[in-house]
Chain A
Amino acid sequence: MTNWTLFAPELFMLAAAGLFFVLSLSRPQPARDYAVARVAAAVGLSLTAWAVGAEGVLFAGTYRVDLFSQVFKVLITTGFFLVICLCAELSGVADKRHSEFYLLLAVCTLALMLLTSCVHLLAIYLALELSSYSLYILVCLRRGREKGLESGLKYFIIGACASALMLFGFALLYGTGLSLHLADLARELPGRIHEPVVLIGFVLGLSGFLFKIAAFPFHFWAPEVYEAAPNQAAAYIATVSKAGGIAVLMRITAAAGAGGDQLVGFLMVVSVASMTLGNLAAIAQQDLKRLLAFSSVAHAGYVMIAILSFNAMGLSSGVFYALSLLVMKLTCFMIVIQVSSGGSNIKINDLAGLHIRAPVLAAALMLALFGLAGIPPTIGFTAKLLVFTAAVESGYLWLVIVAMINVVISLYYYLQVLKAAYFLEPKESAPPVRVPASLNFLALVLIFLTVAAGIYPRPFIAAAQAMTFGIIG
């Protein structure tokens, strides 16, 4: 007997997607679509928050509702709600496409929610594809289609290749007689991870998730997609979709037990390459969204450190890192969206004089950049501290040192952005930044979160520990 109440948030998101589908058939009315989207996202968020304590197993054991998945669902719907809040001026997308835009966002959110709960490799694969396909189309929705279409196609091709690798890996695992069910896998895998076929299967199986969080070498889509996607869609990809990717990656790697030298070695190379490449390439960027894309690649590297530590601390720090990324990246994209006029892309220098044009946004940007660079007392500092502590606990001191060097490199380009916002004189021709009161309020909330979780992170850490305890049933 299936307990459908456990599935209520997902069902609601499905219904919301259906509603947008109906709306997309009628005459386009952007204001109506926006209002509906906000209500839907708010209801979805409260429904997910209500379902936090739920526990249970659905659909013949392939779908597990536990604290880990429920909290990640809250993160995902929160991100979804905030991205919707930033859609007041969705000028990067043609008016008649707005309802489709919300439809795809809702479907993707649904897919990411499923992703956090799936405990069967095939179900995970399906959820991952569903979320990716909606994103491929979202990228193409950019007004003035050519560039968006090209990047969307590239995104699709790289994603399809990554999926192919992943499916191949799953097939190898299945071929060696392993179960595709995570709980069974967690029992058998730690003993057999040293077998070549199992190792290759597992590593290839990770491809799809590495693609999702834009880790090396599956990061090639990130800069172009960020640049070409509508700003709001880019914000969604950078925050919500990352959180879903981190969640599923943590669940899968947790099945590998203590890891095994070769797997850890592989993940280390991925981690070091991601952060070094991301940070170095970000230095040379002028377009703010491209810069944020490379910074995402670098942060994927830091997240990998948490994952490859293969200890309890690593898991909880990974959750905390996902939260911090969500808060900080969302703040950055809020500034991108508000400063850009007509949904265009902005260069770093377009931020000139932001502290006069929009003081609250500038302060939020400053704290978010400090957080991304890991400067105390921000949430980003605490997140990095936790991740590095986890790595040291597992004895990977040199990895932490490499990461520290990377943090220093990253400081360079984050401060470049900050310099533009605070020390450059605004251009005469710079269009005014209109910030509605609600967004100022949102910025203040984000500032508060950034600082509060940096100074007093204990409740968040405690929650993360509770979530990751018994992550594999």
Chain B
Amino acid sequence: MPGASVISETWLWAGWAAAAAPFAAFVLILFLLRRRPGAAAAVSLAAVATSMVFALCLLVCCVDMETPLRSVVTWMISGDTVISAGVHLDGLSLLMLAVVCGICLLVQVYSLGYMAGDPGFARYYAFMSLFAGAMIFLVLAPGLVQLYIFWELVGLSSYLLIGFWFEKFSASRAGKKAFVMTRLGDVAFLAGLLLLLVRGGVMDIAALSNGAAGLSSGMITVSAVLIFGGVIGKSAQFPLMTWLPDAMEGPTPVSALLHSATMVAAGVFLIARMFPFFSQSDAAMTFLLAVGTVSMLMSATMAMVSRDIKQVWAYSTISQLGFMLMALAAGGYFAGVFHLFTHAGFKALLFLCAGMLIHAFHSNDMFVIGQGGARGLKIPMLCMAVGAAALSGIWPFSGFASKEAVLATLVSLENPAWLIAGLAGVFLTAYYTFRLVFIIVFPAGRGQTRAEDPARGVAYAYGAMAWPVILLAFATLVLGFLAAPIRHWLAAGAGAHEAVHGPAWLAPLSLGLVFAAIAVAWVEFGRKNASQTGFVERVRVVAELFARRWYLDDIWGWAVSRLLDRGAAEACRQADNRVIDGFVHSLAGAAVASGRVLARGHRVMIQARLMIMFAVVFGLTCIMLIWG
């Protein structure tokens, strides 16, 4: 059908264009518009809006197709291995594309208000465009090499954005930490990639998924676990989780982007993308399940004691990502991906609301914000309540639907421990979420008259920040009801048929746990004359353990300083000084000296040169004749 091929050609071009537009904006801003903040923001917004339009068109027109559309150009051929670049359009990548573009667009609009007047305004929008472009190319990647390249580019741009206020020491340190810790995981990822390349010779995801590479099961497990290393770094899972809370040093819109649709989502997206491949190895999936569970519970406990509003949401991101990984590892392709989408919506919402509060009260401390009179700010408070309800999993918000799907997958596992862990996670999530809400809404000493007007200092571009938040809140309300079509679209790609609804007792049980947790939070933080100290904080040792992040940072610090700095690095330095340097120096000296001699040789008289010329030519031919 020539007509059909023309149409699919058009869609592929749309895919290319959606990915290329933000990159073009990045180059344009960086080279031409660095001193024109207004134009830079306009270009960046126009680019991401273009991507958004293409993404929506693609979503509307192509999501129903049976076979994925691919446009691939050969980038490199080495021996028998062909490495290609291109775009791959199927249900998963199109939905993800729409989510990424949508959130990038909203965050960029929001940033118009939040970043107004910042001296690095143009630079900010350049990096934002780079971030969006890299993520879009990652989402559309048909092969692992392209995915890896843009995976690293996403890491780089997040480093640039986290350390955006680089003159602040803590910010540049947090940027470095994020970069180094995710790189640590990426080393494992690269190793897995090379293993696949060497053993299988195939880098195409579709080919890997249908087993065309002919890998042994042991090889699949090893490479899958190595690739999980990259996911653990990127999605901030145990034990590489502590960079994410520190990444709060970046501007708040950056955090919103980082935590919802881009950076950390890349890890989960990779698992979803290669789901059929990973499913071939039970051992690897069990490993992933364990990592997800540990991270989910551990970070939920950390969130219970933090006073920093952004940090609470950061811990909750780790925890929710753990949920997604659990779902995927348990075989719940739809559940994991759906939770990724709903989470992207409500987590962006929560961060953007937090950003508005921080912008108004100049503090990250939730107690200070509460006492400052945050309940007077109607839009952020209402929207935050919507986001919090979704995060806790209350009907009818989007989090309820996706969390139920996740729990339903866990029910189907033989070992009930996973389900119990999941339910515990639900309880803890609701508890820390409403702890934060109650602290802000019902500050201690609220009977007293407030010294200041709540609307004080809210003379910023309120609209630019309010509209994205309202839209996201609306999306959070609606998305839960779209479970059926999303499931249908995704099923075309993976062919997974898992339960969406668990047994009849599951939803009431999880809702009951949620309301129990809210009740506990109410008793401790919400009611009049509440002590505003949680049950965890009463036990000093546990509170300390949670607040210090289970001492993970200390362990990493010790490992780096003792083992790396003093052990390996020192030994290498010694060896380097004595053996390698000495050798290299003498080699370099010899090269330079012989170069001098040779160069001087070129200043001889013309007769000598001609002699050499003839002698060499005739001598060589004679030698060749005798020798041959």
Contacts and interface: CB of A to CB of B under 8 A. Distances in A.
Interface of A: 154, 157-158, 161-162, 165, 194, 196, 199-200, 203-204, 207, 216-218, 220, 223-224, 261-263, 265-266, 269-270, 277, 280-285, 294, 409, 412, 456, 458
B625 interface: yes
Interface in B578-628: 588, 591-592, 594-596, 598-599, 601-602, 606, 609-610, 612-614, 616-617, 620-621, 624-625, 627-628
Contact of A220 (B75, B588, B613, B620): B613
Contact of A199 (B74, B606, B625): B625
A162 to B, nearest CB: 8
Contacts of B614: 161, 165
B617 A280 contact: no
A261 B625 CA distance: 10
Contacts of A194: 628
Interface in B359-395: none
Contacts of A207: 617
A283 B595 contact: yes
Q: What is the predominant secondary structure among interface residues of chain B facing chain A?
A: helix
A97 to B, nearest CB: 26
B75 A280 contact: no
A281 B599 contact: yes
Contacts of B594: 280
Contact of A280 (B595, B612, B624): B595
Contacts of B596: 283-284
Contact of B591 (A158, A165, A269, A283): A283
Contact of B620 (A154, A269, A285, A412): A269
Given A220-B613, A284-B595, 16 more contacts: A158-B606, A158-B610, A158-B613, A161-B610, A204-B617, A216-B616, A217-B617, A262-B627, A265-B627, A266-B620, A269-B620, A280-B598, A281-B598, A283-B595, A283-B599, A294-B599
A281 B602 CA distance: 9
Nearest to A165: B617
A218 B613 contact: yes
Nearest to A206: B617
Given A262-B624, A266-B624, A281-B598, A217 B592 contact: no
B610 A284 contact: no
B85 to A, nearest CB: 9
Interface of B: 74-75, 588, 591-592, 594-596, 598-599, 601-602, 606, 609-610, 612-614, 616-617, 620-621, 624-625, 627-628
A199 B592 contact: no
Q: Max chain A CB contacts within 10 Å: which of B588, B591, B614, B624? A: B624
Contacts of A203: 617, 620-621, 624
Contacts of A285: 599
8 contacts: A162-B613, A220-B613, A261-B628, A266-B624, A281-B598, A281-B599, A284-B598, A458-B75
Contacts of A216: 616
Contact of B621 (A157, A200, A281, A409): A200
A416 to B, nearest CB: 11
B75 A266 contact: no
Contacts of A456: 75
A220 B595 contact: no
A196 B624 CA distance: 10
Nearest to A216: B616
Nearest to B622: A200
A265 B599 contact: no
Contact of B595 (A162, A200, A281): A281
Nearest to B613: A217
A284 B591 CA distance: 10
A240 B270 CA distance: 50
Given A204-B617, A207-B617, A458-B74, A277 B598 contact: yes
A217 B612 contact: yes
Contact of B625 (A262, A277, A280): A262
Contacts of B610: 157-158, 161
A269 B598 CA distance: 17
Contacts of A270: 620
A199 B621 contact: yes
A168 to B, nearest CB: 10
Contacts of A269: 620
